[in-house]
Structure formats: C-alpha cells, structure tokens
Amino acid sequence: MKIQPRQRRIAPRPRGALSGKRTASFRSLARALVSINRWLDKVPLMHWLHRRVRSRLEMPDLSMPLRSGNDSLSGLRIAFVSDVHAGSFLGEEDLIEIFRRVQEQEPDLVLFGGDMINTRDCEILLFKRALTMLTPRYGMFAVPGNHDHSFGSDISAWRSFLEDNGVRVLMNEGVRIEHADQSLWLCGVDDLTEGDPDLDAALDGRREGETSILLSHHPDFFCEAADANVDLQLSGHTHGGQVRIGGKSPLRHSALGYEQGWFIEGDRHLYVGRGVGVSVLPIRIGAPPEVPMITLRRSADRAVVEALVGGQEFSVDCVDSLIETVPPSLEPI
C-alpha cells in the first residue's frame, strides 16, 4: 500500500510589500467577536463542546533535516505549543493535563508560539501551576501573539509573569543552546500584526553556519526569515483554519496561504502548527488541535532513507521510523 507523504509545500512569495498591521475596522470587528466569545464562555454547552475538541489533541512526531555540518544536533527534540487561548473554555486543570502529556514526550525544548491568553490579561495566571509540569533539559521559551498584545493591558506584565515562572521571552532577541559539541541559535520576534518585529535584532549574535530556529507567531514572516538563512521558523496563528470543509477553510489568517503544516524555500523550512485552543467558537472541524514534536535529524540519515525507499511515497513519520533502523556508518552513495 502506498502511504501518502506529509508534504513540504513550496513557500509562496508576496507581491509587493507585505504588511501585517491591522486596520481600525478590523480591530473593531475583533472587539465585537471578543464580546461574543465572553458571552459564550458562560454557556455550559460551549464548555462541553470544547472538551470534545481537547479530547482530539494530537502530538505528531515530525522531523527537520539538518544542514550538513550540524549533525551533532541530531536527536534534539522540540515541543511546539501555540495558540493555547487560555481562559475561554480552557482552564487551569485543562492546562495541567495538556502540559503533563507534553512532558511525557520528553522534549529537550518547549517553545510557545504566542496567543497564550485569549481575551483578558489575567488569563496568563492560569499557567502558573501548569508550567511546573514541564521540565525540558534546555528550558522553555516564548514569543507573544496578537491576543497577548491586544488583550493584555501591559505586555511587559505578560513577559514578567512568564519569566518569573521559568519561561524566557524572546522578543526580538536570541539565545544560544549548547547541545553535544555544537550550538543552536534560538530566537524570536514580536508579533507581526500587533507588535514590532525586528529580525536583525533577533539574529544578532548568530554565528556563521550555526543552525537557527525562529519563533514567530505569524507565519507570513517566513519570507524575511528565509532571506536571512533561518533554518526553521515555527509559527501558529492560523489554527489550521479551525474549520475546514472539503479541505478548505472560510477563515484566512495568512495572506500567503501558510495555513498549516510544512513549507519550504530552498533548504529553509516553515512549520505552521494548528495550535491547542480556539477563537470565538469552541469548535474545530477538520483541523484538530496539536502539539507537534519536532526532532532534528542528520542530513545523511534522511539521504540514506530516501535512497532506500527507491522513490516510494512515505509519510514523514514512516521515514523517521526507517531512520532508526539505518546503521550510523551507512552513507548514501
């Protein structure tokens, strides 16, 4: 049986300048939707619906091929948690259970991709106990999303809470992660629509040839990241469309169509996660919630497997399982 691959699609390019800033009319609409969201949060049926959504949470195992010369980073495991939208339909005990499941995957890094809160700045307090469930070897890091800006009265208070509870916020800055005998430059930018992203500042300090991972809540930042030779960008924001009928969603949160999954430009990669929570309505159709687990892989491993499968089509998960069977000494011809 031929298994269809989880494809990495070619990343589109914008026509002309791309601006993520929102208009006054869009902001007015957003505020109206927030009022609806808060009203629905008081309806018991809505919480029952969201429990059904949470029960479908997926934690797919994915892989990211490393560039040649960075093989010592192979095996590094990243949990990417985006768009939690805590508060509306999702409370403290729910977060504890979700983060317990994440920790069971034994990630080396836990990365938060923004929109941790939904409609009130006090919702960030719901994370206090849940964050103690996570003990990744190299720590926890986060960037803000549009909800963290729009509905937080002071983004500095949001940042202070997270850093006081073990999460370093990467707002236009980076940090070096040492693994084995190599290093990884992990960086993040402010939100494209509500913040002031500065990629140059985020990459300041990156060494030549060093593998780099960028956290950006909005996926449309990928063109700029690819031009700056960022190896992997992790984004959320879109919820995978949240409602997908016939493979398409009536909602469009990316001007470039970065809705969910993998995109590539050359050897630069973007992964857009579907996220954990919901916005406005507590439903997901055709876009189940997810916390992807991304493992960095040696480029030689992937080349060997591609040669072994002889042109057959395999999912990324199947290729990863085959990689485990490849002897370390085997090299592609």
- How far is residue 303 from each of residues 140, 266, 299, measured CA to CA in Å? 31, 16, 6
Adjacent-strand bridge partners of 211: 184
pLDDT of residue 210: 95
pLDDT of residue 315: 47
Q: How confident is the model at residue 299 (pLDDT cuts 50, 70, 90)?
A: confident
Q: How confident is the model at residue 253 (pLDDT cuts 50, 70, 90)?
A: confident
- 7 vs 124, higher pLDDT: 124
Residues 6+ apart with CB under 8 A from 34: 119, 151
pLDDT of residue 52: 87
Average pLDDT over every residue of 118-144: 95
Q: How confident is the model at residue 305 (pLDDT cuts 50, 70, 90)?
A: very low
pLDDT of residue 302: 58
pLDDT of residue 251: 72
Q: Please answer whether residues 269 and 285 qualify as being in contact, where contact means their C-beta atoms are separated by less than 8 angstroms.
A: no
Pairing mode of beta strands 261-265, 268-272 = antiparallel
Average pLDDT over every residue of 89-110: 96
Sheet with 211-215, side-by-side order of all strands:
8-10, 261-265, 268-272, 232-235, 211-215, 182-188, 173-179
Most confidently modeled of 144-153, 199-208, 248-257? 199-208
Most confidently modeled of 5-14, 255-264, 295-304? 255-264
Q: How far apart are CA 187 and CA 271, in angstroms?
A: 15
- How far is residue 215 from each of residues 4, 149, 298, measured CA to CA in Å? 29, 16, 22
Phi, psi dihedral angles at 24 (to 5 degrees): -65, -40
pLDDT of residue 3: 32
Its pTM stands at 0.85
Average pLDDT over every residue of 292-321: 62
Domains assigned to the chain: 24-297 (3.60.21.10)
Average pLDDT over every residue of 80-99: 94
- How far is residue 163 from each of residues 124, 168, 170, measured CA to CA in Å? 12, 5, 10
Task: Give residue-wise pLDDT tens across range 26-83.
Answer: 566 666 667 777 777 777 888 888 888 889 999 999 999 998 788 999 999 999 999 9
